A = this chain, B = another copy of it.
């Protein structure tokens, strides 16, 4: 279910990391690259549906997503679930777990997931030897906060239709930036139940809202294939354009 590669340095070295080619990530200096390579101690493969970080547990590792989709979430005692955010390639997860006493949320794989594993014990080395990388980590934390802020606005002040449009557009843009999908089509690996839990709505109402959205012809969503046909119209429904460009570091 959740297995480490097990072969020290038997995984793809950072020099050959496919994510490095992404235009949305900054380039590393040779020194940074060398450090990150030895900072990464393993590669983790997680099956879809498995939670590899759980609320209440202490995590000795920090992860970045190499490939696949996941999501951060919290559960209430009676089973209510709130999805906080989705994790895509190049996103970092588990930072809270390494800084705080224990995880305050869980992370589940939405598709088979490959993660780069970094030991908490070497995090201080990173901070003391590579301030630029430390800066990047802070940047990633600030960016995550920014995404949640926007999500918070959705749940608090946007209507069901607006927030649905906003989330879908946001995920679409993030996926596109990562080179996932083509011809305006992205494979969304989640179900309407996931969407409902992210939007803070019931499954039934999510379905009906989705229907209304599809009726505008701005988007289609058949099977798992999501496509945007009229981005301006979608952005108009969402109430705001999501096209925020931030040059993005990578650890």
Cα A159 to Cα B151 with chains together (Å): 18
Residue of B nearest to A105 (CB): B149
Cα A104 to Cα B229 with chains together (Å): 27
Smallest CB separation, A103 vs chain B (Å): 10
Pairs A–B under 8 Å by Cβ, sample size 19: A76-B158, A77-B239, A80-B157, A95-B138, A95-B142, A99-B142, A100-B146, A104-B149, A104-B244, A105-B149, A134-B135, A134-B138, A138-B138, A138-B141, A145-B148, A148-B149, A152-B152, A155-B200, A156-B197
Q: Is the CB–CB distance between B157 and A156 below 8 Å?
A: no
For chain A, the count of residues having a C-beta within 8 Å of the partner chain is: 48
Q: Is the CB–CB distance between A200 and B131 below 8 Å?
A: no
With beta carbons under 8 angstroms apart, the residue of B137, B200, B239 that contacts A76 is B239
**B residues within 8 A CB of A82?**
152-153, 156-157
Q: Convert A47-61 into 0s and 1s, putting 1 for each residue whose CB lies closer than 8 angstroms to a CB of B.
A: 000000000000000
So how many copies of this chain end up in the complex? 2
**B residues within 8 A CB of A150?**
74, 104
**B residues within 8 A CB of A95?**
138, 142
**B residues within 8 A CB of A151?**
152
Asked if A29 is at the interface of the complex by the 8 Å CB criterion, the answer is no
Given contacts A128-B131, A157-B81, A158-B76, contact A104 B239 (CB under 8 A): no
